[in-house]
Amino acid sequence: MNLLDACIDQGVKRVVSLSTDKASSPCNLYGATKLVSDKLFIASNNYTGSQDTRFSVVRYGNVMGSRGSVIPFFMQEAEKGVLPITDPRMTRFMITLEQAVDLVWIAFNDMVGGEIYVKKIPSMNILDIASAISEKVRIEIVGIRPGEKLHEQMIGLEDAPYTYEYDDYYKILPAIHSWSKDPARIKNGKIVSADFIYASDNNPIKMSAAELHRWVMDKKGLIGKI
């Protein structure tokens, strides 16, 4: 709220919040705080007064190779000869730093205010991620941790009536003030089906272990430093 108030007071034109898949149907406190942040950024478009300040949100999961992603963790554990896997069914979205930054620029150039942008990105099974890191190590199933999802979700069923599809991304429009019906916000988007859910297990775009392995070899010096 301090940031939102300061941006309005200082007349900042465009503000984009970096959100996460955990904000969609959150199952832990961290996800709940991200959802609250998303809601505040959307609702703040009501309170800009005479200022031209506009707020929107971009939503994606862990950036590939970042300190918070599983890739540097697996690389470290692989040196011990064992990779701990919580659940062999687990799937995760995969996004590069370049794709994440590109989504922010899309939001800046497209936003009217209150939109949530979700990039179309591939997903992978956790065993394929492990295989891309090393095929020689032993896999140990350790069980899913409290507050951890089996599959990541970017767009939930409750957002389907307000979600539009574009070539490279989805856009969730605000339900307030009928903004989800606003042609200026919709532009050339196509409304998704009423039962639409965008999650890592039903994602039609997949990344293979071979593709991830090539990426890891190319970016090896940067992994864990982002």
Q: Identify the pLDDT of residue 47.
A: 84
Q: In which order are the strands placed within the sheet that holds 14-19?
A: 14-19, 54-59, 116-119, 169-172, 163-165, 190-191
CATH number of domain containing 134: 3.40.50.720
Q: Identify the pLDDT of residue 83.
A: 94
Q: Which domain holds residue 35?
A: 2-219
226: in domain: no
The encoded tokens of residue 39 equal 């809601």
Catalytic (active site) residue 220: no
The model's pTM is 0.94
Q: Identify the pLDDT of residue 52.
A: 87
Neighbours of 181 (CB within 10 A): 10
Q: Identify the pLDDT of residue 61.
A: 84
HSE, side-chain direction, 13 A CA sphere, residue 206? 12
Q: How far is CA 127 from CA 60, 61, 77, 122, in A?
A: 21, 18, 14, 15
The encoded tokens of residue 125 equal 């099974």
Q: Identify the pLDDT of residue 49.
A: 66
112: in domain: yes
Contacting residues for 3 by C-beta, under 8 A, at least 6 apart = 15
174: in domain: yes
Q: Identify the pLDDT of residue 222.
A: 87
Number of separate domains in the chain: 1
Cα-Cα end-to-end distance for the chain: 27
Name residues of the chain where pLDDT drops below 50.
none
Q: Which of 22, 34, 120, 171 is catalytic?
A: 22
Q: Identify the pLDDT of residue 132.
A: 95
225: in domain: no
31: in domain: yes
Contacting residues for 98 by C-beta, under 8 A, at least 6 apart = none
184: in domain: yes
204: in domain: yes
Of 131, 140, 121, the residue nearest 212 (C-alpha):
131
